[in-house]
Structure 1
Amino acid sequence: MADLVDDDLVDYSEDEEFNEDKLNDEDYDSLYDALPKLNGKVAQYNDQIGDLDLKEALYYNYFNIDDAFNELKERYPKKKQIASVTKAKSNFASPSPDDKVTAAQNRSVEQDMSELKIGTPEKTPTPTDKTVLKNTKPFKKINLPEELTSNETFKKPRKSFVVIGHVDAGKSTLMGRLLFEVGAVDGKTVNNLVRQAEKLGKGSFALAWVMDQTSEERNRGVTVDICATNFETDKCRFVAIDAPGHKDFVPQMIGGVSQADFAVLVVDAIGGEFESGFSMDGQTKEHVILAKSLGLDRVCVVVNKMDKENWAEIRYKEIVSQLNQFLTSCEINFDSSKIDFIPISGLTGTNVAKRDGKIQEFSWYKGPTFIEYLNQVDTGKEAITSDIDTVLQESFRMVVTDVHEISNSDFEITGKVDSGVIQPGETIHVNPSDEYLPIQSITLHEKPINVAVRGEIVSFMFKKSNLKSKSFEDVRRGDILSQINSPVKAVKNFTVRLNLFNMKKPLLVGTPFVLFRNNYSVPARLSKIISIEGGKKKQHLVSKQVATAEIEIRDRPLPLTNYEDTKTLGRVVIRREGITIGAGIVVDL
């Protein structure tokens, strides 16, 4: 099947809209042949669904009655007893004789009790109630500016990046090589992994196993969950996030992107492999679209496996040209000044940490190694020590990435601090579970610290006894921790400015989908179309449109902020039937 060009997409957007007056004779006959049959099925399910919705469902499902009915069931709840319920309500609208007697007795008792003048005793505050009313103080009284300035941990700039790309492009192998070269993994560990991999006939996977640590990942040869690893050079501290490349694990990849400052896109230079990443089923395109939609505005393209192409400059330039055109297109819209390219071999290590002057075929390259690039790339974020006043004025926010039990009495929450600072002893608010928990201790890289600060991935320890529900499992990945005097709002409905991508079929009001905010996903649906850019009034949305719409959450409330208040907590992505169909920013709660 030939790829769609931009003009094709415009035609698709306009022509696929349902307009009964524009139907040809064949479609008109098909519509009115199928409509009575669908009406009969729908009447048994929900007789409140209008004719226009029935016609649109038939049209967009090529007049297949069963498919149209299934779509309507997704969009509308079952209401098969509406009439009987209404009748029952009318039958019992007036009070029965027994009701009248009971009401009179109640009034008499209430009057007698009021004459006794017994006041309602004030509620004795529980420990949790006290926590809500007043924040708890840090265990240690420290001078925060002095602590942040003197702590060696915070003197180096901290950068986080997510490694994305098509499955088998060599992402995990690159990261394994990088960690070995900077000394985060020793030679003994790598040799042990080589022996394990060779026993399973997967010798070339040894470096990837530094990142892929579960038996499933090692047996399948693909990463299935994100893996965040800390390392540092003499100039910077880094968090490297290896995201899964397989299409079945895009939700996990979204979680990885939400923790990063910039993206490292790994592409396979081998003829045919690079192109397959851009096919209809390839993940390179979707990963890049998601990275940009979730706020990453810088990307480093690592052209991997160049050794398999004999370091051919012509092949490298061909890939650079294609990717530059794609990344700067209207569909993606990266700024060309924020796109960088580096040729490497993750397996041999060439140009990861050092050049190999013996490779004559690679003498044409004059740029930096991958590690040199990481050290010098500008992410717009300086060391905390150069921005202390701003950090101290920010409200504390953290997105939960992991929750696990430590002992019978304690549990731990891990996440990336989005803004502000917090200390052991202070109380945080957890939304949407509405818990108020004093922090018992904070660790960074498994070492205790006196303060958690913006940008760091840290772990907090809490007492189970401080939980209202007494179950730490009520706190989930994607929940938001905040200071108790500035909690994040949890909502069931919100307004979003939505950019739609290529869709197989239009998005109608009532259509369900999965909504992502950071690393949290929740079932949701389109509840209202407020406006469509261009002034068009429609009952549905199609590919490439920009619209303002209302979204309804169909699970527990979702913690959100307006995009203008906190960008990282005000972005959402929507997926349907395993495909990313749109992304947007929250404009009203």
Structure 2
Amino acid sequence: MDLLRFITAGSVDDGKSTLIGRLLFDTKNILADQMEAIEKASKTRNAGEIDLALLTDGLRSEREQGITIDVAYKYFQTPNRKFISIDAPGHIQYTRNMVTGASNADLAIILIDARHGVSEQTRRHSLIASMLGIPHVAVAINKMDLVGNSEDVFLKIASDYKELAKKLNIKDLTIIPVSALIGDNIVERSTNMPWYTGETLLSVLENVNVLKDYNSEDGRFSVQYVVRPQTEALHDYRGYAGRVQSGTFKKGDSIKVLPSEFESKIAKIEFGGNEVDQATVLESVTILLEDDIDISRGDTIVSANSAPIVSQDIDALICWMDDKKQLKPGNKYVLQHGTARTRCSVRGIDYQIDISTYEQQDEVDSLKLNDVAKVVLRTAQPIAYDPYQSNRATGAAILIDETSNITVGACMIE
């Protein structure tokens, strides 16, 4: 049984939390004590019927304001698949929270209120989903019950969104009319919209193929730890533990270690203490090489026939996440790329993206909270990377403030 990570995004009051609550409720993934607590909280708030949004709005401030502030993760499963749902805030001031939640998502559910149509937040969240390379987007046009389940309203909003999507990097798009409050087209097909003959939202989530989205061609293995037991039985044992970020590694394969460019062959691959013939994407394994090479945490083992870019000069799209300090040319940070860490400086800001109009703004001298821009970085040590759009695993990085040690920027390397 495979796993799907999906994020819900949309404007405030579009019904994101209610939609997740409805999915959990209708797939019978709510425990009895959870249900009892939600019923009690609903009565306390005079919410009338059970407020399913309370399943994800866990913070007291969220329940008081009726909005999502923090990113909420819910785990559930059906007979066909396991899921991690990521409920992201809709308000503009929490854009960085949405970026954090979407960074590992396989699919994005963009909610649109049927009464209001495509909004500025729809454009903002769609751009972020596109920038982060989320390959599958399901647009849920919600609250159809409040517009009389009108097919004309649905078709107009669907047409507007398709025009917007032409400007973005969206590979797979599905548009569904739903009512999260009632449950129409969420798990079961709605009898209130007989004109809609497509899939339900759960059907899309269960059947989308995410394995083909991973880069299966370029072998990339980020070294996390050097295993040296130094016991009598394993006196000469030297293994490199880490995760296969893309591609496949097999026993006997020729490899190259970056950034040193030492070459060798794979002598053995161990998984869970047992020797295996190969390791594929997302598997955590230990690789042993035929030669003793100076390899440490942060190095990358790659297939000899598909080397990534190795450079100290990096162009990256950055979402700025610090509410106290601005990003300016000349500022210095720590760049975390996989398991590698190196100091870097900001050489310049090429342009900023207006995430409401998708236009580029030149002559920008600084970035503030939630700004998105293309930035030029210079690292102290060379790093091995692939462009983000061809390999999300090796094209992603974060910027860390040297003094406070907090993450201040999310980077998509171009």
Q: Specify the alignment match of 2:197 in structure 1.
A: 366
Q: Report the Cα distance in structure 1 between the residues aligned to 2:146 and 2:300, rounded to whole angstroms.
A: 55
Q: Does 1:355 align with 2:189?
A: yes
Q: Specify the alignment match of 2:173 in structure 1.
A: 339
Q: Does 1:567 align with 2:383?
A: no
Measured after TM superposition, the shift of residue 228 of structure 1 is 2.1
User: Could you say if the C-alpha distance between residues 524 and 255 of structure 1 is closer, same or farther in structure 2, counting changes exceeding 3 Å?
Assistant: farther
**Residues 353 and 370 of structure 1 are in contact (CA less than 8 Å); yes or no, is this contact kept in structure 2?**
yes
Among 90, 97, 103, the alignment partner of 1:252 is 97
Q: Specify the alignment match of 1:406 in structure 2.
A: none
Measured after TM superposition, the shift of residue 572 of structure 1 is 6.2
Code of the aligned partner of 1:365: Y
Measured after TM superposition, the shift of residue 305 of structure 1 is 0.9
Q: Report the Cα distance in structure 2 between the residues aligned to 1:264 and 1:190, rounded to whole angstroms.
A: 25
SS of the equivalent of 1:255 reads helix
Q: Does 1:293 align with 2:131?
A: yes
Q: Specify the alignment match of 2:66 in structure 1.
A: 221
Code of the aligned partner of 2:387: Y
Deviation digits for residues 216-241 of structure 1 (CA, Å, limit 9, x no counterpart): 22112222221222222222222211
**Residues 318 and 375 of structure 2 are in contact (CA less than 8 Å); yes or no, is this contact kept in structure 1?**
no
Deviation digits for residues 155-204 of structure 1 (CA, Å, limit 9, x no counterpart): x2322111111121111110011012222213553343133123123446
User: Could you say if the C-alpha distance between residues 363 and 572 of structure 1 is closer, same or farther in structure 2, counting changes exceeding 3 Å?
Assistant: same
Residue ranges of structure 2 left out of the alignment (5+ in a row): 225-242, 249-271, 285-295, 303-309, 320-325, 352-361, 366-372, 400-408
Q: Specify the alignment match of 1:323 in structure 2.
A: 161
Q: Specify the alignment match of 1:107 in structure 2.
A: none
Deviation digits for residues 486-524 of structure 1 (CA, Å, limit 9, x no counterpart): 499xx9974215599xxxxxx9982879999899xxx99
TM-score by length of 2: 0.61
Q: CA RMSD in A?
A: 4.9
Q: Specify the alignment match of 2:80 in structure 1.
A: 235
Deviation digits for residues 346-385 of structure 1 (CA, Å, limit 9, x no counterpart): 111121111243x3xx111111111111112233449x9x
Q: Specify the alignment match of 1:586 in structure 2.
A: 413
Q: Report the Cα distance in structure 1 between the residues aligned to 2:96 and 2:63, rounded to whole angstroms.
A: 20
Code of the aligned partner of 2:177: P
Q: Does 1:208 align with 2:53?
A: yes
Larger helix proportion, structure 1 or 2? Answer: 1
**Residues 132 and 412 of structure 2 are in contact (CA less than 8 Å); yes or no, is this contact kept in structure 1?**
no
Deviation digits for residues 105-133 of structure 1 (CA, Å, limit 9, x no counterpart): xxxxxxxxxxxxxxxxxxxxxxxxxxxxx
Q: Report the Cα distance in structure 2 between the residues aligned to 1:261 and 1:397, rounded to whole angstroms.
A: 24
Q: Report the Cα distance in structure 1 between the residues aligned to 2:100 and 2:174, rounded to whole angstroms.
A: 24
Q: Report the Cα distance in structure 2 between the residues aligned to 1:334 and 1:518, rounded to whole angstroms.
A: 25
* Residue identity (%): 27
SS of the equivalent of 1:234 reads coil
Q: Specify the alignment match of 1:495 in structure 2.
A: 314
Residue ranges of structure 1 left out of the alignment (5+ in a row): 1-155, 399-415, 422-448, 459-481, 501-506, 532-538, 575-581
Code of the aligned partner of 1:237: K
Larger strand proportion, structure 1 or 2? Answer: 2
Among 324, 329, 332, the alignment partner of 1:510 is 329
Code of the aligned partner of 1:176: G
Q: Report the Cα distance in structure 1 between the residues aligned to 2:198 and 2:145, rounded to whole angstroms.
A: 17
**Residues 17 and 56 of structure 2 are in contact (CA less than 8 Å); yes or no, is this contact kept in structure 1?**
yes
Q: Report the Cα distance in structure 2 between the residues aligned to 1:246 and 1:517, rounded to whole angstroms.
A: 28
**Residues 397 and 419 of structure 1 are in contact (CA less than 8 Å); yes or no, is this contact kept in structure 2?**
no
Once the two structures are superposed, the pairs formed by residues 80-479 of structure 1 within 5 Å of their partners are: 156-186=1-31, 189-203=34-48, 206-270=51-115, 272=116, 274-275=117-118, 277-278=119-120, 283-328=121-166, 330=167, 332-335=168-171, 338-357=172-191, 359=192, 362-381=193-212, 395-396=221-222
SS of the equivalent of 1:347 reads coil
Measured after TM superposition, the shift of residue 266 of structure 1 is 1.1
Q: Does 1:550 align with 2:376?
A: yes
TM-score by length of 1: 0.45
SS of the equivalent of 2:221 reads coil
Q: Report the Cα distance in structure 1 between the residues aligned to 2:170 and 2:89, rounded to whole angstroms.
A: 22
Code of the aligned partner of 1:550: V
Larger radius of gyration: 1
User: Could you say if the C-alpha distance between residues 233 and 559 of structure 1 is closer, same or farther in structure 2, counting changes exceeding 3 Å?
Assistant: farther
Count of aligned positions: 318
